[in-house]
Amino acid sequence: MDVVENTSGRGPASQVPPEIQRWNWGAFLLNWIWGIGNNALVALLVFVPLFGVIWLFVVGARGSEWAWRNRRWESVAQFQATQRRWARWGVIVWLASIVAFGCLFVGIFALLKDSEAYKLAHARLDAEARVAEIVGRPMSTGIPTGSIAVSGPSGTAELSFGVEGPKGKGTAYVVARRALGQWTLEQLVFEDEASGRRIDLAPSAPAAAASAI
C-alpha cells in the first residue's frame, strides 16, 4: 500500500488531501480569529466593507485548503481534530453572542418601559375616553421602542408602543421633555390600527404640578 506524503505547510506546493477539502465551520464562524490561528491571514479580508460579507463564505469554503497549505500538520487526523475544535468553539462563541445581545435588548426595553416618559404616556392613554372607545378596557400597552437621552436635569424621549384592548388596537407615539428634573409630555398621538385615524392627546401636567393643585 502506497503511503501518501504529508506535504502540509509548503504553501502552493502542498498537495491537499481530498478528505479535508470540505466546508470548514470553524473558519466560517470565527473567520479572522481562525485565520490568525491557522496562518491563513487572507481571512482578514472579512474586514473589507461589503466585500467582507462575500469573503466570509469564501473563508468557510476554502479555509481547510489554506490551513493545510500554510501550516505544518502531523497528519490528516490531527488536522481534522483541530478543525473540529475550532468549529465547536465557533458554535460556543456565536451562541454566547446571541444570548448576550438578547440580554442587552431585553435590558434596553426594560429601561424604556420603566422610564417616566413611558409611565406618563401610559397613564394619559388609560385615562382617555376616546382611546378606550376604540380599543376597549382593560387596556394594555406593549414594549416601547425609541430613545431616551438624559443630561443632568434635562432630557428628551421619543417613544412608540402598541396599545391593545378587547375591541381593537393601535400605536402610541410620544415626545417628552425633561426640564429642571421634571418630565412632561410634549406630544402624544394615538393611531387606530383598523382605520388609521389619529387622535392628538393634550399633554398631561407634570406629576409634581398635578399633586400641588
Task: Give pLDDT tens digits for 167-180.
Answer: 999 999 999 999 99
Residue 42 is predicted with a pLDDT of: 95
- pLDDT value for 103: 86
Of residues 5 and 57, more confidence is placed in 57
In 179-201, which positions are buried (b, 16+ CB within 10 angstroms) versus exposed (e)? eeeebbbeebebbbeeeeeebeb
The residue ranges of every structural domain in the chain are 11-111, 115-212
Q: Which residues contact 130 (CB under 8 A, 6 or more apart)?
A: 190, 199
Q: How far apart are CA 107 and CA 23, in angstroms?
A: 37
Q: Among 84, 154, 165, 90, which Cα is nearest to 126's?
A: 165
Half-sphere exposure of residue 207: CA atoms within 13 angstroms, side-chain side: 11
Grade residue 106 by pLDDT with cuts at 50, 70 and 90: confident
pLDDT band at 111 (very low <50, low <70, confident <90, very high): confident
Cα Rg of the chain, angstroms: 29
114-148 pLDDT, tens digit each:
889 999 999 999 999 999 999 999 999 988 999 99
Please give the average per-residue pLDDT across 33-43, as a whole number.
Answer: 95
pTM of the model: 0.63
Q: State how beta strands 145-151 and 182-192 pair.
A: unpaired
**Beta bridge mates, 179:** 182
pLDDT at 207 over 70: no
Give the other-Cβ count within 10 Å of 90's Cβ. 20
> Please, what is the angle between helix 76-113 and helix 51-70, to 10°?
150
> What are 170's strand-pairing partners?
163, 192
